[in-house]
Amino acid sequence: ILNVEQSPQSLHVQEGDSTNFTCSFPSSNFYALHWYRWETAKSPEALFVMTLNGDEKKKGRISATLNTKEGYSYLYIKGSQPEDSATYLCAEETSGSRLTFGEGTQLTVNP
């Protein structure tokens, strides 16, 4: 993997559904993996920063896991709500402070 890749590109779910997204990264010169949430007309909001293989982080209904050996991270949303609708970005931090972003997963939660 040469770049940070996210899948799927977009996702439409019903309120109450649980969902997950994937972020794949090169994992050479890895420092940390960041997840951000970006709502339309707002600034990207930091969700998690993970550094160690096997890291798991949780914030409310959102959680994330990290596998640095194989170069992937999963973001999970349990019981999606309409207010979860946003673009979810992951970014690999390399060279201390340089973030390389994926193109994001655009989530739409229908009431």
Partner 1 sequence: KAGVTQTPRYLIKTRGQQVTLSCSPISGHRSVSWYQQTPGQGLQFLFEYFSETQRNKGNFPGRFSGRQFSNSRSEMNVSTLELGDSALYLCASSVRAPFYEQYFGPGTRLTVT
Residue 60: CB minimum distance to partner 1, A: 16
β-bridge partners, 36: 46, 89
Residue 89: CB minimum distance to partner 1, A: 7
**Does 45 engage in binding with partner 1 (CB under 8 A)?**
yes
Output Rg (C-alpha) for the chain, integer angstroms: 13
| Identified binder of partner 1 from the candidate list 102, 105, 107, 109, rule CB under 8 A | 102
Q: Which residue, 32 or 77, has its beta carbon nearer to partner 1?
A: 32
Three-state SS annotation for 44-94: CEEEEEECCCCCEEEECCEEEEEECCCCEEEEEECCCCHHHCEEEEEEEEE
Residue 5: strand, helix, or coil: strand
The span of 14-22, 57-65, 67-75, 92-100 binding partner 1 (CB under 8 A) equals 92-100
Residue 12: CB minimum distance to partner 1, A: 21
The size of the interface with partner 1 (CB under 8 A), counted in residues, is 24
